[in-house]
Structure 1
Amino acid sequence: MGQKDSITWGTIEIPYRYSHSRRKTLGISVHPDLSVTVRAPNGTSIETIKAFVHRRGGWISKAWTDFEQYLPKQPERRYISGESHRYLGRQFRLKIEQGEIDTVKCLRGYLWVTVKEEPTPERAKVMLEDWYRQHAKYIFKERLTVCHQRVLREGIPLPAMLIKKMVSRWGSYSSAGRITLNLALIKAPKECIDYVITHELCHHKVRHHGPKFWKLLHRLMPDFEERRKKLKLYAD
């Protein structure tokens, strides 16, 4: 496994393990579990290894961030009757029909989309996304209030919230102290929504995904890894 050591790069602590071998050059790897390993030629000093890791600090920080991009690519949706859609972790069948008024209802395992004019996939998509957004505004606000209680002891303020469609992230936390949540998160269970919100709230104290960040998140939400794994299952 090698020897343990660490360096400080900016405000980030980078722990790593290093080992010596008959290789000719220094090499470094960042793994999906965010661990860092260094391989060094025999006889390389600890100081030389430290300096090497420090020079690669920016690359390591970026790799940690890249590994955190855990939102899978979503499949193409057709918005036709019989298609499966999710809401708060449950699957519902889409049912599109023509009626007297434009409505969307979640009832008995179905998402019923009633269209006053001719029902088309394009119209159903617009109506369903509007329905998701209306419910996301209420539920995300509720979960933000709950999650903020969890982080109060860390002195993290209650941020303003924005909801929008995002391509590759579930959420973000801006330098202005605003949390942005992906509209698609409304399809996941509340426990996963809470994970994303708590994750982003932690960025008020630690901007990068380094060891200090994960330590803080674990202290506030000890089961965050299980929630994160479950979230991946609902990214459709």
Structure 2
Amino acid sequence: METYELIRSRRRTLALEITKDCRVLVRAPLRLSQAKIDAFVASHEYWIQTHLEQQRQRAVSAPPPPTPEEIAALKAKAQAILPGKVAYWSAKMSVRPTGLKITTARKRYGSCSGKNSLCFSCFLMNSPEAAIDLVVVHELCHIREKNHGPRFYALLEQYLPDYKERKKLLK
């Protein structure tokens, strides 16, 4: 049986998690017996092995994390490029963002707050220019349409008819 790290809390169910650093976490209710936890882990051994192997392969094939110097360079590039793109597209779209911020977010390239402040990840600068324009226009569209409904996509398509092809450049 695979060794695991046990985290007890006031939850009602058992849960398994494989972390990015290939540890097996088991989350369990406070009063559940160790025998039942061990039986749960043993019954999920195949799942654990499969997902551990997938995580190990991801870890091997993943590029090394960027250095602080690389992040600083990406931030500088973003601060040089994005304000101009936002100004250009917001004039073309007749919208006005209330602010612009550059972050080091890893999960999303851009966001638009409820108060119409835009936020972009510096890692967007690793994408082609067509993809950068897509993210800028996408977030500016959120000033008019706060959700991803049909009207949002109609608006996005009005300014970037090829947005679906551009989206593929982000992956």
Q: Normalization by structure 2: what TM-score?
A: 0.60
Offset at 1:140? 1.0
- Percent identity, aligned pairs only? 27
User: What are the within-5 Å matches in structure 2 for residues 208-219 of structure 1?
Assistant: 208-219=147-158
Q: Which amino acid aligns with 1:166?
A: A
Distance in 1, Cα, partners of 2:152 & 2:62: 31
Offset at 1:149? 2.7
Offset at 1:147? 1.6
3-state DSSP of counterpart to 2:133 = helix
Offset at 1:166? 1.5
**Number of the residue aligned with 2:88:** 146
**Number of the residue aligned with 1:172:** 111
Q: Deviations over 1:177-210 (max 9, x none)?
A: 1000011001112211110010011111111111
Runs of 4+ more than 4 Å apart: none
User: What are the within-5 Å matches in structure 2 for residues 39-188 of structure 1?
Assistant: 75-77=62-64, 125-152=67-94, 156-188=95-127
CA contact (8 A) 2:98 2:115 kept: no
The reply on whether 1:195 has 2:137 as its aligned counterpart is no
**Number of the residue aligned with 2:162:** 223
3-state DSSP of counterpart to 2:100 = strand
CA contact (8 A) 1:202 1:216 kept: yes
Q: Normalization by structure 1: what TM-score?
A: 0.44
Q: Which has a greater percent of helix?
A: 2
Distance in 2, Cα, partners of 1:131 & 1:75: 21
What root-mean-square deviation, in Å, do the aligned CA atoms of Structure 1 and Structure 2 show?
1.8
Higher relative contact order (CA 8 A, sep 6+): 1
**Count of residue pairs brought into register by the alignment:** 111
Q: Which amino acid aligns with 1:200?
A: E
Q: Which has a greater percent of strand?
A: 1
Distance in 1, Cα, partners of 2:136 & 2:168: 15
Offset at 1:225? 0.9
Unaligned runs of 5+ in 2: 1-60
Q: Deviations over 1:164-183 (max 9, x none)?
A: 01132111000111000011
Distance in 1, Cα, partners of 2:166 & 2:137: 11
Unaligned runs of 5+ in 1: 1-73, 80-124
Distance in 1, Cα, partners of 2:88 & 2:113: 20
**Number of the residue aligned with 2:39:** none
Q: Deviations over 1:57-86 (max 9, x none)?
A: xxxxxxxxxxxxxxxxx934166xxxxxxx
3-state DSSP of counterpart to 1:212 = helix
**Number of the residue aligned with 1:205:** 144
**Number of the residue aligned with 1:114:** none
